[in-house]
Amino acid sequence: LTIDNVLATSLGTHGKIPDNETIYRVSKQQCWGCIGESLEFLFTHNLVRATKWEPLLFWDFQLEKYARWWALQRKADCKLQHSFPEGDFKLGENIYWGSGSAWRPGDAVSAWSEEEKYYDYATNSCQEGQMCGHYTQIVWKNTRRIGCARVVCDTGDVFMTCNYDPPGNYIGERPY
């Protein structure tokens, strides 16, 4: 297993991405200093998915760029806010905020995955008054690619976001 296998992009048969290509108005760039965080996001997501026998996710640099762009937008205020208007987005998205700068990617994925205890597979719903959509997005059966980012905000707190393609959490469908 090599880094190329772990951090596979979604280029497939489309070939090389032109240097000037953008996705959601984010220009092509890579954060090479963030490889450890990327691996931690990917590994912890895949550990959760393995508990439901779902296929491994692949790292997508385009999704990472979009996530990094949004994390940088939140750097000034660290506001726990999604990057898109409700119902007007083509990707899945999980967001996380932590007080202080020590929070790591594994902490965010752990918090999201702990929502499993609130998910009832038989009724395909969350327990009354609880959230479980972060968890169901992580284990969504059709999701194949992920890209995430972490930023320490000007407040000293941490904001993290992950984007998923294809997205999950379709009403009436079970995650696995």
Helix (H) or strand (E) holding 144: none
What is the pLDDT at residue 84? Answer: 85
Nearest Cα residue to 115 out of 96, 102, 98: 96
Quote the pTM value.
0.81
Residues 6+ apart with CB under 8 A from 91: 63, 66, 163, 164, 165, 167
If residue 48 lies in a helix (H) or strand (E), which one and from where to where? helix 35-50
Instruction: Establish if 55 belongs to a structural domain.
Output: yes
pLDDT of residue 33: 52
Q: What is the reported pLDDT for 29?
A: 45
Residue 87, pLDDT score: 66
pLDDT mean by block of 10 residues, the chain; 176 residues: 41 40 42 78 98 98 96 96 81 97 97 99 97 98 98 97 97 96
4 in any annotated domain: no
Number of domains the chain is built from: 1
pLDDT of residue 89: 76
Residue 18 lies in a domain: no
CA 96 to CA 99: how far, in whole Å? 10
Domain that holds residue 140: 30-84+93-165
In a domain, 5, yes or no: no
* 171: in domain: no
Is there a domain that residue 46 lies in? Answer: yes
Residue 122 lies in a domain: yes
Q: Residue 120 belongs to a domain with what CATH number? A: 3.40.33.10
- Asked whether residue 37 is assigned to any structural domain, the reply reads yes
Dihedral of CA 108/83/62/143: which sign?
positive
Q: Three-state DSSP class for 109?
A: helix
